[in-house]
């Protein structure tokens, strides 16, 4: 191996300095780049409402809770989460007050699959709260309707 001359040493140091400068510049350029862009997407055309069906066991009488079965139909092409809320009771008979009734709905969300026709959402109860001080006979033969919302 031949010994390095002063001229070769200077050239080697200069080459090393140049490589460090180029490498450092490349690293700086890599880490300091900026840019911008844009994109677009078509919005959904919307969805149809999910229908909730409420079925109450027959024979509503004072003080006897009856079962309520909740199901849902989803006409949409995608799954939908349904959480039932705030069941409301109405009656068809004058003198049969909705305030005499209490209704419950199941807690929690249920996944209703796309194009489902009768997905079970759970059960609740309907009770004609018995009152010893009020004549509730106006409710005999009345049509009792439970309407429930969803979140």
The mean-pLDDT minimum among 15-29, 48-62, 76-90 falls in 15-29
pLDDT given at position 67? 96
- Domain co-membership, 23 together with 64: no
Could you tell me the maximum CA-CA distance found in the chain, to the nearest angstrom?
A: 120
- Domain co-membership, 16 together with 69: no
- Which of the pair, 59 or 32, is modelled with greater confidence? 59
Confidence of residue 16 (pLDDT cuts 50, 70, 90): low
Is residue 131 scored above 50 in pLDDT?
yes
- Domain co-membership, 120 together with 60: yes
Range of the domain at 126: 51-150
Q: Is there a domain that residue 35 lies in? A: no
- Domain co-membership, 10 together with 77: no
Q: Is there a domain that residue 2 lies in? A: yes
Q: Is there a domain that residue 39 lies in? A: no
Confidence of residue 29 (pLDDT cuts 50, 70, 90): very low
Name the nearest CA neighbour of 121 among 144, 143, 151, 101. Answer: 151
The number of domains in the chain is 2
Radius of gyration of the chain (CA): 37
């Amino acid at each position: 191996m031949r010994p390095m001359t002063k001229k070769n040493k200077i050239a080697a140091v200069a080459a090393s300095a140049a490589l460090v400068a180029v490498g450092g510049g490349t690293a700086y350029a890599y880490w300091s780049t900026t840019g911008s862009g844009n994109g677009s997407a078509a919005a959904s055309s919307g969805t149809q409402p999910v229908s909730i069906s409420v079925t109450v066991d027959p024979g509503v009488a004072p003080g006897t809770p009856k079962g309520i079965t909740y199901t849902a139909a989803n006409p949409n092409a995608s799954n939908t989460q349904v959480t039932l809320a705030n069941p409301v009771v109405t009656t068809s008979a004058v003198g049969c007050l909705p305030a005499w009734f209490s209704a419950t709905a199941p807690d929690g969300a249920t996944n209703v699959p796309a194009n489902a026709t009768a997905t079970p959402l759970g059960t609740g109860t309907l009770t004609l709260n018995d009152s010893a001080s009020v004549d509730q006979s106006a409710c005999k033969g009345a049509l009792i309707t439970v309407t429930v919302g969803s979140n």
